Amino acid sequence: MAYAVLKRSSMMKSMTTGIGESWRRFASVAVGSDLVAAAPNVSLQKARTWDEGVSSQFSTTPLSDIFKGKKVVIFGLPGAFTGVCTAQHVPSYKKNIDKFKAKGVDSVICVSVNDPYTMNGWADKLEAKEAIEFYGDFDGKFHKSLDLELDLSAALLGHRSTRWSAFVEDGKVKVLNVENVPSEFKVSGGEKEDEEIQVSVTAECL
């Protein structure tokens, strides 16, 4: 059983390595990009129960409401309830929330190509809703607009996003970290993001 899991993991990494490297060469989002302008007419769906969705008439949140006039840490990941996302990625931001707030960050956001109801259930399971805002990108338009989409059909996930993180101020990307492949967790975690925000803030003060 363990061998089968390891074999699937190795196969997944080999199948996505080339995809990830190709993506990084052609991604449209970069430091200095305006996320709102890069994804015009795109909205995200805040995590909620089905009943809350019905009562809100399935409302969505424009990117301008999320980013404009705010300092935001945002991280994207392949999917709710998946391995690295659950065990490492979200917990790394939950653990560092006080550091982000001390640097004047208004909100820490997790986004994934999932519906908002799945994101809500996952956030509840992780006990992270008080620290992190969870949003669904149910049709993948946000990630497609930024060229952050990735085909993970090999893992039965279909079209999702790669693993990434950014520090965004008034809509402009100040820090951007993208993993080479979605199975890796080297540059997009909460600790790394906190360090790079400090570097960015220090550089602006010089």
- List, for residues 152-179, the tens digit of each pLDDT value: 988 888 899 999 999 999 999 999 999 9
Residues in the chain: 206
Given this model, what pLDDT does residue 196 score?
A: 87
- pLDDT by residue (tens digit) across 177-202? 999 998 999 999 999 998 989 877 66
**Is 85 designated active site?**
yes
Tokens 């965004």 correspond to: 168
Q: What is the pTM of this model?
A: 0.84
From 38, 85, 176, 197, the catalytic residue: 85
Segments of 15-156 assigned E as strands: 43-46, 61-62, 71-77, 107-112, 133-136, 149-151
